[in-house]
Each structure stands twice: as C-alpha cells, then as structure tokens.
Amino acid sequence: MKQVADISAIAKASFMHDLQEMHLVSERIDWEVIAQSAQVIASAEQVICIGVGKSALMAKRCAATLTSIGKKSVFLHPTEALHGDIGILSPNDVVLVFSNSGNTEEIVSIMPYVKTHSKVIIGILGNRVSAISKYCEHIIDASIEKESCPLNTIPSSSLLITTAITNALIASVTVNLNISTEIFATYHPAGQLGRNLLLTVDSAMISGKEALPFVQPGMNVRELIIIMSSKGLGCAIVSEDNNLILGFITDGDVRRCLQNNDDLSTVQAQHIMTQNPVTVHSTALLGDALSLMEDREHKIGVLPVSNDQGECIGIIRLHDIAGHIR
C-alpha cells in the first residue's frame, strides 16, 4: 500500500494538471463562438442536449440549468432517440451535442436526422475534426492534452473543461435573455432564493397574542425569564398595553444580565432591553429581513415585526426565513 505522502503528491499533481489544462483552454478557446452560440440558444424555441456516458451527465446538467433560467431545454439520449424519442425535435430547436471524442457512435448515427430536423447544431467537442463536427454550425473546442488521472483514461480534465465551457455558455445565455435575480427566483419558488425574493415577512413570522412574548417595562427578571421560556422564541418584546415596541430583549441580554448582576431583585426588563431595536415591517421581503439580521457587525437571529402603527405583530427568526418547520 502506498504511503500517504505518495498519494498526496499524486492528488496535488492531478489538481495542478487540471489548472494547467484550464489555462491552456482559456488561451485557445474562441470566445466569439461562445457568444454566437449563446445568442442562438437564447433565440431558440427549445434546446435539445445530447450526450452519452459521462458526456450525458454534462448534457443533462446543461439542460437542467437552462430550464432553471426559463429556457425550455431537454436531454435526449441518442439510443432512445432511435426508438422514437427523436420526435421531440422541431425545426426551431437548437441542438447542443457533448462528446469528448467527437466520434461517439450512438450520436453519429442520429446526426443526419438531427441536421435536417433542427435549426442549429452546436458541438462542445474534445475533437474539432471528427464525425460529429461535420454536422455542427458552431464548434466549441473542449480538447485537452491529457486527462489528470494517472492512467490518462478516466474522464477528469475533460469533464472539468466541459463543465467550465458550459458554465461560460450558460452565463452568456443568461445575459442574452436579460435574466434578473427576480426572474430567476420565479423559477425557484421552493428554494431559498425564491423565498427571499417572493415571500414577505408576514408569510413566515410567528404571530398571535398568545404566541408572542410580551412583557411590561417594569417586570422583574425572574418573571421575564419565565415568559421567555414559556414562549420559546429566545426573545421578549417590551411594550405597554398598546403593543408599541418600547424595547427588545434576547437570550443574550438575559445571560449578560445574569453575569453582571449578583442581586436581580431590582433589575427590570426596561434595564436590560435594547431601546429602539431593529425591526422589520410585515410587508418586507424575507430577503430584506435576512439582510437586517446578517449584514451587520454583530449578527442577530430574531427580529420583532411591526405594522404601520409601530405595533409589534410578530416575530421572525433566521430559521423561519429558511423555511424550517416551527
């Protein structure tokens, strides 16, 4: 069994080789072809991504990512295409072919049909002069000198280069389609980005008089702790009967009080509360609430939620924003 030092050297050599291949490709690649390909993809009615083996994984990932930015895209396996699936092609479609050798037999066999039933064929190929390349209007050169694996057989550098080129292509398509963060969020309503940009604080906050830890300014610390513990929100809202926010108390405030006071009999809620605390309006986006919590020197994990009258109508916590079950 080889020594750890030997294995470490092999791992580092593989990593450094990948970097070198990335540099070589960046110097060689025709960026105008990528820009032209991106424009074609952006204007396509549908994008069909084709690949076999590891290239199929690249094609599937590309199709999924294009779909996530609103560009209709599907993966087509060439073997299944020969048994009916090729019917998905239409004259306004752009076909994106992934192949390291450029001579993948299954793909070559369907290229004549693909050529006559699609608008444009773009090849991300490891071999510019190949059977597949003859059918392509645009060829993006994904060739490498050698794989980074010691055997020079396992797809490694070739996959990295293909991934990087696909990323560059998708980035260009995104710009061509004028995709904004807000538009992207509409395609990801269940993801955190979608939640942050589409949902408002009142959709995730904890509300209701019985659920909220309201305390009076003159309440002593013992009573305060009992109420905070019973509500389980890690905070207390200091208010008079009108629910206007006079101050805010967190678990941290209580701990500091216990550390700094030997006699708690005279300590009241108003003595340890934060006056004029950071609040968030109930109609604010979850992303805005998240920024209020995290974009500061000392991060906070919970915020009082106010209405137009400055009354506290809820509490929002970090894990409420993240969509955890409360």
Q: What separation in angstroms does the CA of 179 have from each of 28, 71, 74?
A: 29, 10, 20
Phi and psi (nearest 5°) for 3?
Answer: -70, 155
Residues of each domain in the chain carrying CATH 3.10.580.10: 198-321
Residue 182 binned pLDDT confidence (cut-offs 50, 70, 90): low
CA distance 55 to 74: 15
Residues of each domain in the chain carrying CATH 3.40.50.10490: 4-179
CA distance 236 to 256: 15
Amino acid (1-letter code) at residue 264: L
CA distance 300 to 186: 28
302, β-bridge pairs: 317
Q: Which two tokens stand for residue 76?
A: 């087509």
Residue 127 binned pLDDT confidence (cut-offs 50, 70, 90): very high
- pLDDT over 60 at 139, yes or no: yes
Contact 12, 5 (CB under 8 A): no
pLDDT at 199 (0 to 100): 77
Handedness of CA 269, 261, 294, 190 (dihedral sign): negative
Other CB atoms within a 10 A radius of the CB of residue 154 amount to 13
Q: Which two tokens stand for residue 304?
A: 């009082």
pLDDT tens for 14-73 read: 999 999 999 999 999 999 999 999 999 999 999 999 999 999 999 999 999 999 888 999
pLDDT tens for 162-180 read: 999 999 999 999 999 887 7
Q: Any idea which fold 4-179 has? A: Rossmann fold (3.40.50)
Pairing relation of β-strands 73-76 and 214-215?
unpaired
Residue 76: strand, helix, or coil: strand
pLDDT tens for 220-278 read: 988 999 999 999 998 999 998 778 889 999 988 899 998 888 888 888 999 999 898 88
In this prediction, residues 283-301 reach a mean pLDDT of 84
235 CB contacts (<8 Å, ≥6 apart)? 213, 228, 248, 249, 250, 251, 302, 304, 315
Is CATH 3.40.640.10 what the domain over 198-321 is classified as, yes or no?
A: no
206, β-bridge pairs: 315
Q: What percentage of the chain has pLDDT greater than the value 70?
A: 92
CB neighbour burial string for 29-41, b if at least 16 within 10 angstroms, e if fewer: beeeebebbbebb
CA distance 98 to 79: 15
- pLDDT over 80 at 89, yes or no: yes
